[in-house]
Amino acid sequence: MFEHPHLFSERPGMSDPLSQVVALLRPRAVFANVVSGRGRWAVRYAEYGRPSFCIMLGGRCRLAVDGHPPLAIEAGDFILLPATPAFTLSSDDPPAPVSRDPHALPSDGSEVRYGEAGGTPDMRSLGGAFVFDRADPALLVSLLPGVVHVRDATRPSQLVAMVAGETTQPRPGSEAALSRLAELLLIEAMRATTAGDAPPGLLRGLGDERLAIALSLMHAHIERPWTVAQLARAAALSRSSFYERFTRTVGIAPMEYLLAWRMQVARQLLRQGGSRAAQIAERVGYASASAFSVAFRRHVGLAPGAYVRAQVAAS
């Protein structure tokens, strides 16, 4: 995907900032288990620390994530926890919770049952986790609120119904289909947060029609020497209004955002290999390899070559 030399500047259809973020993350779903419950039950999961999700296949239950108000979740809901702190899942009238280690769940895809062992479950869900092939999950955490709860939306509901079908009646290709469906649900969750409940960052900025123009330009032409005045004109705002609105909504100043995105792209290109420093410098908007190296070291804390060696050692 990243081998195309103009992925971040000229590729048709890839000037959309959200598409670029998803391409940078390259998510794949790793499914854990179907979780069901009947009667009175409660389970307390320890902190997982990585992005996870819950797709409600049937019934209802309560979800209480540490640091967030409790939620009533029901069939058709999709819940994404970008960092997955400790949480409690329970029936409406729960007993004292049973502690569970999320890392110790069965890995064979078998169903995990809570409460009464027999009978039709009151709740059935599919729990899973995202693994990102090409980027640090902290990028996703920085974009989203601590709990994303998607409900009463046509597209996510359709995707959840398809997940339910693939789970209850597995067919050839179900594993691949479930992974793709989970990726689409992640995109829908990210889209849903542009409505205003996202933390300051890219997604909230995309929810502002004026700022979305400037963000799209920066992503479409990462190599250009943008100025605040140019971006303000494109957004049809005065320079001061644009700067204040961008900084408040996105959380950092326009040129800081551009630098941060350039460094995200540069890190990916360095991890990918196959490009000289001068080529990467040109692709992310620097006139020389030395200027790029100085900026990269200042932002990342390592020179480009040292960063590559550190990535190789960690793999």
Q: Facing residues of 127 across strands?
A: 33, 54
Q: Facing residues of 34 across strands?
A: 126
Mean pLDDT of 82-101: 95
pLDDT confidence tier of residue 58, bands split at 50, 70 and 90: very high
**Spatial distance between the Cα atoms of 250 and 81, rounded to a whole number of angstroms:** 21
pLDDT for 195 equals: 59
Which contacts (CB < 8 Å, 24+ apart) does range 137-143 have? 137/50, 137/51, 137/82, 139/21, 139/24, 139/25, 139/264, 140/25, 140/51, 140/82, 141/51, 141/82, 141/83, 142/199, 142/201, 143/21, 143/82, 143/190, 143/193, 143/198, 143/199, 143/201, 143/202, 143/203
**pLDDT tens digit string along 6-41?**
334 334 344 688 888 888 887 877 777 889 999 999
User: Is the pLDDT assigned to residue 314 strictly greater than 90?
Assistant: no
Structural domain boundaries of the chain?
Answer: 26-195, 202-314
The single-letter DSSP state of residue 307 is H
User: Is the pLDDT assigned to residue 215 strictly greater than 80?
Assistant: yes
141 near 65, Cβ under 8 Å?
no
pLDDT for 197 equals: 63
pLDDT confidence tier of residue 235, bands split at 50, 70 and 90: very high
User: Which is nearest to 87 in space by CA: 123, 148, 46?
Assistant: 46
pLDDT for 2 equals: 33
pLDDT for 304 equals: 92
**Spatial distance between the Cα atoms of 282 and 288, rounded to a whole number of angstroms:** 7
26-195 and 202-314: identical CATH topology:
no
Report for 19-23, 156-160, 225-229, 305-309: range of highest mean pLDDT: 225-229
Structure tokens, 192: 């849903």
pLDDT confidence tier of residue 4, bands split at 50, 70 and 90: very low
Considering the domain 202-314, what is its CATH architecture?
A: Orthogonal Bundle (1.10)
Q: Which CATH class is domain 26-195?
A: mainly beta
